[in-house]
Structure 1
Amino acid sequence: MEKAQLKEIGQRLRQKRTELNLTREEFAELADISPGFYGQIEVGTTQMSIDTLIKITTSMHLPMEYVLFGTGYSPSDCSPIIELLNNCTEREIKLAERLLKLYLLKVD
C-alpha cells in the first residue's frame, strides 16, 4: 500500500474518532490495540493486519470499504447517538437501552 493511501486511511479514522469524542488512547482500548500502534495507523506510518482492521471497523461501526477506500459510508445528518445506534446490532441496541435507562434512573 502506498504512503498516500495509508495517510488517507489514517485521516478517515482520525475524523471518525474525533466525531466520537475519543482520545487515541480511549479508542485503542476499545479496539484492543496499543495506543502507540493506533497512533501510527492514524498518521499513516504503518500498515495494519486484517485482524486489526476488523477490530477498528467493529469498534467504530464502520464498513471496511470506508476505512480502506473512503466509500460505502455516508454519515447521517442526525445526532452522533442516533448514527451510532443505526449501526448497532439488535443485541447492542438492547444493551445501550439498558445502560441509558440505568443512567437516567440514577440521575433523577
Structure 2
Amino acid sequence: MEKTQLTEIGHRLRQRRTELGLTRDKMSELADIGNGYYGQLEVGTSQMSIDTLIKLSNSMHLSMEYIIFGEDKKTGDASPVLELLKDCTPRELKLAEDVLKLFLMKN
C-alpha cells in the first residue's frame, strides 16, 4: 500500500475518533489494539491486518470499505431522531449525545 493511501486511512480514522469525542487511548482500548500501534495507523506509518480492520470497523461503526477506500458511509434516515431532539434544552441535548455515544460503543 502506498504512503498516501495509509495517510488517507489515518485521516479517516482520526476524523471518526474526533467525531466520537474519544482520545487515542480510549479508541485503542475500545478496538482492543495497542495505543502506540493505533497512533501509527492514524499518522499513516503502519499498515493494519484484517483482524485490526475488523476491530476498528466494529468499534468505530464504519464500514471496512470506508476505512480503506473512503467511500461514503451508508447512513439511515435520522429524521425521527432529529424530530425528537428539536425541542430539547441544551442540557437535554448533551445528555442525549452522551447516551447515544454509550449506545454506539456497546454495539
TM-score above 0.5: yes
Number of positions where the alignment pairs a residue of Structure 1 with one of Structure 2: 86
Corresponding position of 1:4:
4
CA apart distance, 1:43: 0.1
TM-score, with length taken from structure 1 = 0.70
Q: Gaps spanning 5+ residues in structure 2: where?
A: 86-95
List 4+ stretches of structure 1 deviating above 2 A: 74-81
Q: Percent identity?
A: 59
Cα distance per residue 1:6-64 (max 9 Å; x no partner): 00000000000000000000000000000000000000000000000000000001100
TM-score, with length taken from structure 2 = 0.70
Instruction: Report the RMSD for the aligned CA atoms in angstroms.
Output: 2.7
Report the secondary structure of 1:14's partner residue: helix
Would you say the 8 A contact 1:57–1:67 is kept in 2?
yes
CA apart distance, 1:74: 5.3
Corresponding position of 2:88:
none
Q: Gaps spanning 5+ residues in structure 1: where?
A: 93-108
Corresponding position of 2:57:
57
